[in-house]
Structure 1
Amino acid sequence: MPDSAASLLGFDDRDKGLPARLARYRPSHWSRRRFLVAAGSVLAALTILALSFYSFHQSPPPLTLVDEYLPPAHSNRLDALVGPPTQKFRDNLRNDTQYMSSFISAGWTNDVMTYGNLIYLAMITQRVPIIGNFTPSHIGGDAGTVPFSEVFDIDYLSKAIGSPVLEWSDVKDPTSEEIDDLGCWSVWQAVQTRESEPRFTNALELYGLDISYTAGPLSLQKIPGYEHDPHAHFWSIAALTYPSGREAALQPPQPSKVHGALLPPDEQLACFDYLYYVCAHQSFEYEYDLSPAWRFVVKNFRFTSRLQSIAEGYLKRMFGVPEDGPVPPYVAIHARRANDFSVYCGDVPRADCFPTMNVYARRIAEVQEDTRARLGVVPEHVIMLSDERDPGFWDAVRTMGWYTPDHTAEDTVANYGRWYPLLIDAVIQASGLGLVGTDRSTMSLLAGRRVQDWNGGVYLNVKWGTPHADDH
């Protein structure tokens, strides 16, 4: 990527040889008159060149890769709306602004990635994204929802990406009893062969939306008709938001569930049923450092100062550090071992399928060696974070001298709510100098990305499935 607007036009160190190249022309080759005219022309050209160079370097900060895609920035992200939340969402949409929304339908980390995909898709189509609450899955349906802005600093995000990011609660009054009809695209119907309906989500009733879906074209799927990969490319979906792509893909809409409305996909508020399986280049792209959704969006999902402060309090109490003292550097382990992972063990006994403490310890030593070599720091403290319920596992953790947050003793649920054991653990995973994660876990993946990009730390995964899966 160019370092400046000037370098976009070729003004870089390679052009410093220009005067030397001009010097090969000798005045003896010309008449005096021609020499003076030519010299004057050259001087004028060099003056213009210098002024141009100066003007470029005095210009505002250079464009980034995505600046050209962004809608006009607002001093306040809520300036992207008419005003306070309204009874009907459309009454709060500005006539001069286009929007985009989508809905979540997975575990929490996958939902974070889905919102990241939505925001990136909105950025490249010059639309303002509208995101919703996180809905419970692994923590139990009775836990209720939690606003995105309770977990992540949405104002920081908006400023970091140069585009407003809205929540549905900003747009429509959460207490409104109005049911709004809306036409949306179903990407899910286009990219997989196992379900005939749009992707199910229980989020629609939160926002009072009754959606009439139009199935997207089968060409959305990265490999059309291939049942084992439901990914679509960002720009394939983006094409549906432009007149030519929209017109070519339109087909009869499906009736909405409440009113039976038959609506084509909305043009001002482009919306899609599910955007988890989306990539720019390759499937499951968050696993690769080229991921634009991570680099330009989710990297800027910074935890709120409140949530960060709560987690730091847990860390200090775990380590016996005074409240006004610093948290020492540490390595976190995210050991995913719940039933939704153990089903992949097949006939391998659980004790042989998942890593032993010695396997984790070997990876920790590798993290410590890396941080010592690169940073001159050896994080001695180790924290185990796991969904394991076997008391014997936790006895082994204590035998290793490792720490773990005690959400029972801290009375986390009573103090903060059902979501907070998960959220506090996520902050702890992201705040260390190293993370030892679980291969194939998206929670480990995003935590590892945070450790690498936020802290300059080390992220390693432990492989599992057989007794020697992590041998290396």
Structure 2
Amino acid sequence: MSTSKESLLPYANLYRSTVSRKWFKLACVLIVASFLLLALFYNRDLEGSQTGWQTTTSPAEGSLLELELHSPVHEEEPEPQKQNAVVEQEQDSLDPLVVLKGAPTTHFRDNLRPDVKYISSWPDAGWTNDVMTYANLIYLGLITERVPILPMFYPSHIGYDKQPIAFSDVFDIDRMRKSIGKPIVEWKDVKDPKSEALDTLGCWNIWETVQNQSPEPRHSNSLAHLKLDISYTKTPDWVKSFRQWPHDTHTSFWTLARFAFPETRDSNLVTPRPSPNNQVSLPPDDHLLCFDYLYYVCADQPFEWDTDYSPSWRYVARYMYWTSSLQNLADQYVRRTFGVAYSDPTPPYITVHVRHGDFANNCILDYKIPVEDCFAKIPVYARRVEEVKAEILEKRGIVVNHVIMTSDERDEGWWKEVEEQGWLAVDHSQTKELYGDWYPILIDAVIQSGGVGFVGTYGSTMSILAKRRVMEWHDGASRMVRWGTPNADDH
């Protein structure tokens, strides 16, 4: 069948039109794709510059931490207002008012929230030991998910005719709350310190269980100050950790933690001891769990505060920083001792703490040797000071020329030997008059913790805490001097 040119013309025109449209569409697709690719690469470069993306190091050369830090983050960063709101919310969650009904009340129970559980105990061991007791209390609160309520510090070491001092007047409790991440309150937040109302409370009696010298709970003068009338329930015999050692009085954290929960609590209830004032017999309170004495508590072994694993140190006491006012006051004493001008920096120093005092009883009763042969001599401490100086120089490149001696020793001849070493003593001649009876020991403790090195007395809890603070807070060096025989510290 033949076809004329005229008959094919419409099809030719249609073909050309179709081809033109196809090329036009293809061109449009290519243009759009080009813009999309450009936009993609631009966005990636922009994100890389915003998030610190680094391409100078290959994944094989960079560490996993570096890759995590420099990988692009595609989530939107929170707005500043949102960030501030989150911080404020975290801070508010640690405020005492969040875990209490409000301001201090006449009766403590009126201020406890029904949806919050609490824990408390009472001090009676000298100031440094009470610091350890409160750290034990806070740690026990952490593992039982209870809010610790801290009493004041009571002057058992300087005489009960002196006034107590609040925990928050010594330690920065707000900083500690933030560091630990849990609320901590003081009894003065809960009950009005001026209240004369006597409150009854049921608590557990540990002391009668762990020792056989006194068939009663541990006494504490804090109860009269807090206006608390306690009915005690004796803990079972298995609370004592080392029953093979009759003279050891320790229990353990997780042993006591069991009493925060109903199975152990309910199955160990016995007839309570009537309260001393109102003669009321009460079972141990579950809302406010309380124990008579928490100094002798450990995780694994007795007197473990000087071990690297000590949970009370690792999770609590390391965060017990001094208040800024107390820190500044102690720094003034250091500078005055060294004769440093106000405009000059405080030089690095080593503190020595020599405890004698009541340790003399150990010399006579336990070691059965004269005191003069029992305590380490000044040259023994001097040898340890030189070791600390050498370690600081090697580890940190710091030359230490200043040494401060702190001690309860009163013998003038002994202090003359200290002076002959070129060591200095803090002048406390006016401290009590200017600041109060608490401040000589508080200032000494802050000074001990502020040096780059420390030399202490073996077995002294004040030395143990000073050593740990210097090591933890200042990456310092330390030694502990042994005593009990003339050559006890030979090495």
The question of a shared fold, defined as TM-score above 0.5 by the shorter chain, is answered with yes
Aligned to 1:125: 144
Alignment equivalent of 1:174, drawn from 185, 193, 199: 193
Deviations 1:80-126 (A, max 9, x none): 11111000001111111100000011011111000000000001010
Deviations 1:400-422 (A, max 9, x none): 111110111xx100110001000
In structure 1, give the amino acid aligned to 2:421: M
Say whether residues 1:77 and 2:61 are aligned partners: no
Contact 1:432 1:451 (8 Å CA) reproduced: yes
Correspondences of 1:349-360 after superposition (within 5 Å): 349-360=370-381
Instruction: For 1:404 and 1:55, locate their aligned partners in 2 and report how far apart those are by CA, in whole Å.
Output: 60
Instruction: For 2:235 and 2:407, locate their aligned partners in 1 and report how far apart those are by CA, in whole Å.
Output: 39
Task: State the 1:278 CA deviation.
Answer: 0.6
Contact 1:102 1:271 (8 Å CA) reproduced: yes
Correspondences of 1:32-431 after superposition (within 5 Å): 74-224=93-243, 226-338=245-357, 340-346=358-364, 347-408=368-429, 411-431=430-450
Please, what TM-score do these two structures have when normalized by structure 1?
Answer: 0.83
Q: 2:233 is paired with a residue of what secondary structure?
A: strand
Contact 1:77 1:158 (8 Å CA) reproduced: no
Instruction: For 1:223 and 1:412, locate their aligned partners in 2 and report how far apart those are by CA, in whole Å.
Output: 43
Aligned to 2:83: none
Instruction: For 2:105 and 2:163, locate their aligned partners in 1 and report how far apart those are by CA, in whole Å.
Output: 23
In structure 2, give the amino acid aligned to 1:148: F
Instruction: For 2:351 and 2:152, locate their aligned partners in 1 and report how far apart those are by CA, in whole Å.
Output: 28
Aligned to 1:68: none
* CA 1:324–1:95: 2 relative to 1, 3 Å: farther
Instruction: For 1:153 and 1:95, locate their aligned partners in 2 and report how far apart those are by CA, in whole Å.
Output: 28
* CA 1:224–1:248: 2 relative to 1, 3 Å: farther
Instruction: For 2:91 and 2:375, locate their aligned partners in 1 and report how far apart those are by CA, in whole Å.
Output: 50
Instruction: For 1:201 and 1:357, locate their aligned partners in 2 and report how far apart those are by CA, in whole Å.
Output: 37
Instruction: For 1:335 and 1:470, locate their aligned partners in 2 and report how far apart those are by CA, in whole Å.
Output: 14
Task: State the 1:194 CA deviation.
Answer: 1.7
Please, what TM-score do these two structures have when normalized by structure 2?
Answer: 0.80
Aligned residues: 407
Task: State the 1:349 CA deviation.
Answer: 2.8
Q: 1:142 is paired with a residue of what secondary structure?
A: coil
The percent identity for this pair of structures is: 51
Q: 1:212 is paired with a residue of what secondary structure?
A: strand
In structure 2, give the amino acid aligned to 1:326: P
Deviations 1:408-453 (A, max 9, x none): 1xx1001100010000000000000111000110110011000000
Q: 1:334 is paired with a residue of what secondary structure?
A: strand
Aligned to 2:3: none
Q: 2:425 is paired with a residue of what secondary structure?
A: coil
Structure 2: 5+ residue runs without aligned partners? 1-58, 61-72, 78-89
Structure 1: 5+ residue runs without aligned partners? 1-15, 18-53, 59-70
Instruction: For 1:141 and 1:88, locate their aligned partners in 2 and report how far apart those are by CA, in whole Å.
Output: 25
Contact 2:205 2:234 (8 Å CA) reproduced: yes
Contact 2:456 2:481 (8 Å CA) reproduced: yes
Instruction: For 2:244 and 2:403, locate their aligned partners in 1 and report how far apart those are by CA, in whole Å.
Output: 46
Instruction: For 1:333 and 1:201, locate their aligned partners in 2 and report how far apart those are by CA, in whole Å.
Output: 32
Q: 1:432 is paired with a residue of what secondary structure?
A: coil
Instruction: For 2:165 and 2:235, locate their aligned partners in 1 and report how far apart those are by CA, in whole Å.
Output: 30
Instruction: For 2:335 and 2:279, locate their aligned partners in 1 and report how far apart those are by CA, in whole Å.
Output: 55
Contact 1:99 1:127 (8 Å CA) reproduced: yes
Aligned to 2:9: none
Instruction: For 1:262 and 1:55, locate their aligned partners in 2 and report how far apart those are by CA, in whole Å.
Output: 63
Q: 1:143 is paired with a residue of what secondary structure?
A: coil
Deviations 1:197-216 (A, max 9, x none): 00111110111100000001
Instruction: For 2:290 and 2:91, locate their aligned partners in 1 and report how far apart those are by CA, in whole Å.
Output: 20
In structure 1, give the amino acid aligned to 2:287: Q
Contact 1:72 1:163 (8 Å CA) reproduced: no
Contact 1:193 1:225 (8 Å CA) reproduced: no
In structure 1, give the amino acid aligned to 2:286: E
Task: State the 1:72 CA deviation.
Answer: 11
Deviations 1:32-53 (A, max 9, x none): xxxxxxxxxxxxxxxxxxxxxx
Instruction: For 1:212 and 1:469, locate their aligned partners in 2 and report how far apart those are by CA, in whole Å.
Output: 46
Task: State the 1:77 CA deviation.
Answer: 3.2
In structure 2, give the amino acid aligned to 1:394: W
Aligned to 1:4: none
Q: CA RMSD in A?
A: 2.1
Q: 2:161 is paired with a residue of what secondary structure?
A: helix
